[in-house]
Chain A
C-alpha cells in the first residue's frame, strides 16, 4: 500500500506525534510548569491514541510500501507500549526526583520513545527497524540522564550512549550486510532469499556474521548477556519512573523487533543443520537468566535488585525465542503482559516508598507491613509473582515458557530456568522478610492518596487474576498472532512484490 493510502491506518501514530508537539508547545507557555497539566495533556494524548487504535479495528495490511505492517501483533505491542507510557507518566507525576522546570521536555521525549516503540513493533523493513531502534535508544539516553545534577544519572546516561552507539553501529553493519547479500531491505523478502543463500558455502559465513551482528543490536535492547553491561548502571542511575519504563516497555519493544526480524527474517534458515540458532539462543538465554539472578543475590538497593531481576526475566523470555515458531511467540507475548503488571507494580511500590521513607535500600522497607499494610502485601504479591509461585500470574507465564522450551526437548535449558527461579526466591524474599519480619525504629504510618491505592490495585488484580483467567487471556493471544506465522512469509513477499 502506498504512502497516501496508508495514512488512514497511521492515525494512532499521528496522534502520538501530535501529542509530543502539543506538549512541547504547551511547555513554552508561561505558568505551564506550575502544576501537572503537561502530564495530563500527555496522558490525554495517550488516551486518544488508545481510542484510535481500538477504533481502527484489527486490519492486516502492509503500509508505506512495505516499511511497516499493521497486524494483531503490532497492535498488541502498541497497547503494551501505551499502557507502559501512561503508567510512567503517572509515576513521573509522583516522582520527587525530577526537576519541575524540565517537565515539558521530559514528557515530550517520553512520547517520542512511545512513537519509536510503535515503529519497532511494526517495522518490516531493515531501515525502519534501525530508525525506530535509534529513536527509542536516543530518547532513552536522554531520559536516563534526566537528573542533570545527579552524578549517577549522568554517568548512567553516558554509559548508555557509548554502549548503545557501539551496539547499534554493529547492528547497522549487520543490517547492511543483509542488504548487500539479498539486495532487498524488506524483512520478509530477506527471509525468502536467505534460505537459498545459506546453502551456498561462499555466502554462509557472511550470513552468519550478519545475523550475529543484528543479534548484537537486538540483544543490547533486551539486555541479554553478553550485551547487558549497560543495564545495571543505567537502571540504577536513571530516575525511578524511567527505570520502570526501560525495564518493561523498552524490553517489550525490543522483543517485538526481535521476533519480527528473527521469525520473519531468519526463520527460514533457523532449522537447518548448518545454523544452530536454537543452541545459540538457548545458551544466551541460560547465561542471561543465570547472570541476572546471581548478580541480584547480594544487592541491597531495591532498584538495582529489580534491575538485575529484569535482566533475568529477559533470559526467561528468550526461552520462548529459542523455539522460533508459534508457541514461542505466544509464550513471549503472554509473559510480557504478565511481566508488565508485576514489574511496574513493584516499581510503583519502590516509588511510593522512596517518596515517603526516602530510601531505596532494603533496610528502608523494614516493618512496612505495619506502616503500610496494603503496600507491603501488594509488594509481596508482585515479588512472589516474579519468582513464579502459583497461584499468581508469574507462574502461568513461566509455565508457558517452560512448555515451549520443552517441546523442543531443551531439557537442560528448562532445568537451568527452573533452578534459577528457585534461586531468585532468595533475593525477592529478602524484601518480603524486611517488610514482614523485621522491626524498624520509625513506626509512623505511611499515607497514600486514594488514586495511588487504586493504581496499586490496578497492578495487583491482574497479577492475581491472570492466573485464574489464564485461558481467556491465552485465547486473546492466540487471536493476536493468528496471521503472523512464518508461513505468511511467502504471502507477504507476494503482496509486496505486487505493489504499484
Chain B
C-alpha cells in the first residue's frame, strides 16, 4: 500500500491545491512543497529498507481492475525502479523550490506539476503493462501545458512538438502492447501482468517466446521509448522542449522523463523480449554511438547555454543505450547507474542555467564573461556539475560511463571494440564544450554589463545541494546505488544469455 500512497498523494495534493481560493499564491507554493516532501520521505524509507539480496519484487500490491482484459492494478518495487523512484521523489521538492519565482497562474502550475509527479512515480512502480502505459501517457498532458503556458518565446511550438512526437511513439507502443496481450495466451488466461509476461516470454514454446514475434514487438515498444530517451533520429523535439520550458520543467524533463524511456527499454525490451534484443543489439549499439558522437558535436556548436546542456543530455543517454546494447553485467549496470547519475547531474545543470538566466534574462554563452569574479559560489557549483557531467573520476558521471564502456567493449554486438573506441570521442568532446563554456562564462575579464550581478541565493543553493552531495557520494562509493540493482542485473543478463543460446543467435 505504501507505493499506492506514494503514487496518489501528489494527486490528492493537486485537488487540494485546486481548491485554494484565488490569489493565495504563497499558500499554493507551500502546500505543494509540503505535499512533494511526503513521497520523498516514503522513497527514502523504501530505499533504506530495500532488501538488496534479492532480485524479486518488493512492496508488491495487486488488485484486479478490468478483469475482462486481465488488467490488474499491480505495483511493486525492484532494483530497476527503486533508484529512479528516489530520483523522482527527490526532484519533486527541488523543482518546486526552483519554481518559487513563478508569478503567473501559480495554482495551475503547482496542480499540473503534482499531476506530473503522480504520472512519473506511477510509471516507475507499475507492474502491469496497461497501467504502465496509462502512467506513461499521463505525463504528456501536464508537460504540454507546463511548457506551453509557462515557457519561453517559442513555447507553443515546442510544446506541441513534444506532445505530437511522444504521442506518435506511444500509440505504436500501444499496438505492440495489445499484440503482446493477445499472444499471451488463450482468451480467459490472457494477461497484461509484466512479471507474468516476462516469465512467459522466456518459456520456450510459448507464442511470446517466438523470436519472429519478439523482433516486431520489440520494434513497436522501441519506437515509443526511443522518442522519450531520445535516440537519434527521434531526438529533434528535445532541444526545443528543453530550451523553451521553464527551468524546473527542464530539470524534470531531463532528469526523469528521459529516464522513463530507458527504464522502459530495460524493463520491457530487454527483460520481456530477450530474443528481440539479441537480434537488434547491433542496430541499437550503432544508434547509441550516433547519439554520443552526434549529440556531443551538436553541443559543441551551441551558443545557447540551455541548448548545449540539452544536446549533452542526448550524448549522455547514448552511453546508457550503449550499456544496454552490450547485454552484459558491466554494461547494464553502467546503464542503470548512468540513468540515475545523469538524472542528478543534468538536474543540477539545468538548475544552474536557470540561475544565470533569472539574472541576465538571456542564455547566450558569448554574452557573459568573467562571472567568476562576482559569483564565486555559483562558479564553484557549476564547475562541480560540469566536471561530473564530463566524467571526471571521483564524481558520479565517471562510474556510469566507465562501466557502460567496459561492458560495450566486451559487448555482444558486432564491432564492439571499434564502437566503444568511437564512443570515447564523445567524452573528449564533452570535456571540450564544458571547459569552453566554463572559460567563456566564468573566466577572463568581467563583462561590464554584469558588474552588479547577484550571487546565487540561498534558496537556489538549497535546491542544488542534495544533488551535489549525491554526485560526490556516488562518485566515491557507487555501490550505494549499484547494490540496489545488482541482483536484478544478474537475473536480466542470465535470462538474455540463456534465451539467446536457446534460439541460436549467439555462438
Contacts and interface: CB of A to CB of B under 8 A. Distances in A.
Contacts of B138: 390-391
A384 B141 contact: yes
A414 interface: yes
Contact of A403 (B140, B144, B145, B178): B178
A29 B171 CA distance: 57
Interface in A47-75: none
Nearest to A389: B137
A414 B148 CA distance: 31
A433 B160 contact: yes
Contacts of A433: 148, 156, 160
A390 B134 CA distance: 6
A421 interface: yes
Nearest to A330: B68
Nearest to B131: A390
Contacts of B140: 389
A406 B66 contact: no
A426 B164 contact: yes
Given A436-B145, A436-B148, A474 B175 contact: no
Interface string A413-445: 011001101100110010001001100000000
B452 interface: no
Most B CB contacts (10 A, CB to CB) among A387, A395, A407, A425 go to A425
Given A426-B160, A470-B66, A419 B148 contact: no
Most A CB contacts (10 A, CB to CB) among B134, B155, B174 go to B174
B174 to A, nearest CB: 6
B160 A407 contact: no
Contacts of A475: 68
Contacts of A471: 65-68
Most A CB contacts (10 A, CB to CB) among B67, B171, B181 go to B171
B182 interface: yes
B245 to A, nearest CB: 14
A429 B179 CA distance: 29
Interface in A273-306: none
Given A389-B137, A390-B134, A406 B156 contact: no
Contacts of A263: none
A422 B164 contact: yes
A402 interface: yes
B163 to A, nearest CB: 7
B175 A418 contact: yes
Given A411-B175, A436-B149, A403 B181 contact: yes
A26 interface: no
A179 interface: no
B181 A474 contact: no
Interface residues on A, range: 20 to 34
Contact of A406 (B65, B137, B148, B182): B182
Contacts of B145: 436
B345 to A, nearest CB: 32
B178 A402 contact: yes
Interface string B156-180: 1000100110011001101100110
Interface in B403-420: none
A399 interface: yes
Interface in A11-39: none
A414 B149 contact: no
Contacts of B171: 418-419, 421-422
A402 B68 contact: no
Contacts of A387: 167
Interface in A234-283: none
Per DSSP, chain B at the interface is helix
B61 interface: no
A429 B65 CA distance: 30
Given A471-B68, A474-B66, A437 B163 contact: no
Most B CB contacts (10 A, CB to CB) among A390, A411, A429 go to A390
B357 interface: no
A406 B67 contact: no
A433 B138 CA distance: 18
Contacts of B181: 403
A474 B65 CA distance: 12
Contacts of B175: 402, 406, 411, 414-415, 418
A335 to B, nearest CB: 15
B178 A425 contact: no
A474 B68 contact: yes
A470 B72 CA distance: 12
B47 interface: no
Most B CB contacts (10 A, CB to CB) among A389, A422, A478 go to A422
Interface string B124-161: 00000000011001101100110011000001100010
Contacts of A470: 65-66
A41 to B, nearest CB: 41
Contacts of A418: 171-172, 174-175
Interface in B84-138: 133-134, 137-138
A418 B163 CA distance: 15
A288 B65 CA distance: 33
Contacts of B234: none
A389 B164 contact: no
A429 B68 contact: no
Given A390-B134, A415-B172, A399 B178 contact: yes
B182 A403 contact: yes
Given A425-B164, A471-B65, A390 B133 contact: yes
Nearest to B151: A437
Contact of B163 (A399, A403, A419, A425): A425
B178 A406 contact: yes
Nearest to B134: A390
B182 A407 contact: yes
B232 interface: no
Interface in A348-396: 384, 387, 389-391, 395
Nearest to B64: A471
Interface string B359-398: 0000000000000000000000000000000000000000
B69 interface: yes
A37 to B, nearest CB: 40
Contacts of A389: 137, 140-141, 167
Interface of B: 65-69, 133-134, 137-138, 140-141, 144-145, 148-149, 155-156, 160, 163-164, 167-168, 171-172, 174-175, 178-179, 181-182
25 contacts: A389-B140, A390-B137, A402-B175, A402-B178, A403-B178, A414-B175, A415-B175, A418-B174, A418-B175, A419-B172, A421-B171, A422-B167, A425-B163, A426-B160, A426-B164, A429-B160, A433-B160, A436-B145, A436-B148, A437-B149, A471-B65, A471-B67, A471-B68, A474-B68, A478-B68
Given A390-B137, A418-B171, 9 more contacts: A389-B167, A390-B138, A391-B134, A395-B134, A418-B172, A419-B171, A421-B167, A433-B156, A478-B68
Closest 4 CB pairs of A and B: A418-B171, A390-B134, A422-B168, A422-B167
